Amino acid sequence: MASRRISNSPDVLASYRRAGQASADAAGDVIEGHVAGTAAAFFDVDNTIMRGASIFHLAVGLARRNYFSGREVWGFGVKQLRFVLSGSENLEDMASATTAALAFVEGRRVDELLELGEEIFDDSMVDK
């Protein structure tokens, strides 16, 4: 099944803007009281170092901890399969994942999210 492309869809772009703002807000929470470093790096591991989308593996780890239902993970799995088989992102699927991720992190403390992320990485992702 070929992935459907959407160029500059207002809903998709708005979703990415919300994600960027949420990331900036969360980073601000962490940085307060800490001396900022002089360098940073970002590595895109999806379908390179790790097969598929890393956010899917994170969602499975969260489901194992009862943060997501089996039905929600099933939906994530369908999108993961589409991504793995097509080798490229579907903007609607990415927007949906962004919305789900933002809903999950809303109202949670940064240190709680960091701890969950580290646990799930160690348990489920390090060998992918």
Where are the domains positioned within the chain? Answer: 10-125
What is the residue-averaged pLDDT of the chain? Answer: 76
44 is catalytic: yes
Q: Is 25 a catalytic residue?
A: no
For residue 93, the number of C-alpha atoms closer than 13 Å in the C-beta half-sphere is 21
Catalytic residue (choose from 11, 25, 44, 111): 44
Q: What is the pTM of this model?
A: 0.59
Helices (H) then strands (E): counts for the chain: 5, 0
Q: Distance between CA 13 and CA 19 in Å, rounded?
A: 10
Q: Which of 3-17, 31-45, 80-94, 107-121 has the highest mean pLDDT?
A: 107-121
- Catalytic annotation, pick one of 11, 25, 46, 127: 46
pLDDT of residue 39 exceeding 80: no
